[in-house]
């Protein structure tokens, strides 16, 4: 017997780039909302300067830097896909939707991620001084 969940998931067209893009947009969006709430909450708690410095020291630890790289990836995916969707709404690239998704959203997005994450990785993680 196949589970009801897998039967439902099977009904969605996972082989299509458009479907992938749709779910990427939803999941990264939810992730960013969650992050934003966490972010505002943390900042809100840091009105005392001593506490602020301590928190900043914690946040520059390699583990948090890794998290930041992950955050950057989420932001880039959401933004690039959002730009793609805006283009679709304006009637640009309607006949080349698969190429726009793979080359623009994923390809250019990956290039931006590498450009942004490399310095973060080198200075924040490899050469991190506690």
Partner 1 sequence: MATYQIRVARSGSDGATDSFTVELDHRMTVLDALFLIQREQDPTLSFRCSCRVGMCGTCAMRINWQPRLACQTRVLTLKADTIVVEPLAHLPVMKDLVVAMDPFFEQWKRVKPALHPDPKRDPKKLAVVPPTSEFGKQAQGKRDCITCGACYAACGIVGSNEEYLGPAAINKAMLRLMDPRDNAVDERLEELNDENGVWRCHTQFNCVAACPKGINLTDSIMKMKRSLLFPKKFHDKRNFVDNP
Would you say 63 or 103 has its CB closer to partner 1?
103
Residues numbered 57 to 96 that lie near partner 1 (CB under 8 A) are 85, 88-89, 91, 94-95
Using alpha carbons, select from 66, 82, 75 the residue that is nearest to residue 35.
75
Should residue 104 be labelled a site residue for partner 1 when binding is judged by CB under 8 A?
A: no
- Read off φ and ψ for residue 45, nearest 5 degrees: -80, -5
> What x-and-dash track marks residues 24-63 binding partner 1 by CB under 8 A?
----------------------------------------
Among 55, 97, 110, 112, binds partner 1 (CB under 8 A): 97
Should residue 103 be labelled a site residue for partner 1 when binding is judged by CB under 8 A?
A: no
Should residue 14 be labelled a site residue for partner 1 when binding is judged by CB under 8 A?
A: yes
Residues that bind partner 1 (CB under 8 A): 1-2, 4, 6-7, 10-19, 21-22, 85, 88-89, 91, 94-95, 97-98
């Amino acid at each position: 017997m196949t589970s009801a969940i897998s039967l439902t998931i099977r009904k969605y067209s996972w082989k299509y780039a458009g479907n992938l893009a749709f779910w990427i947009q939803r999941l990264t969006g939810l992730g960013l909302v969650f992050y934003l709430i966490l972010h505002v909450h943390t900042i809100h708690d840091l009105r005392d300067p001593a506490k602020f410095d301590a928190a900043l020291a914690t946040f520059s630890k390699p583990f948090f830097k890794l998290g930041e790289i992950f955050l950057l990836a989420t932001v880039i995916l959401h933004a690039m896909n959002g730009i793609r969707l805006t283009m679709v709404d304006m009637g640009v690239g309607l006949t080349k939707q698969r190429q726009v998704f793979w080359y623009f959203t994923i390809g250019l997005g990956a290039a931006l991620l590498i450009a942004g994450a490399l310095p973060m990785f080198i200075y924040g993680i490899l050469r991190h001084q506690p």
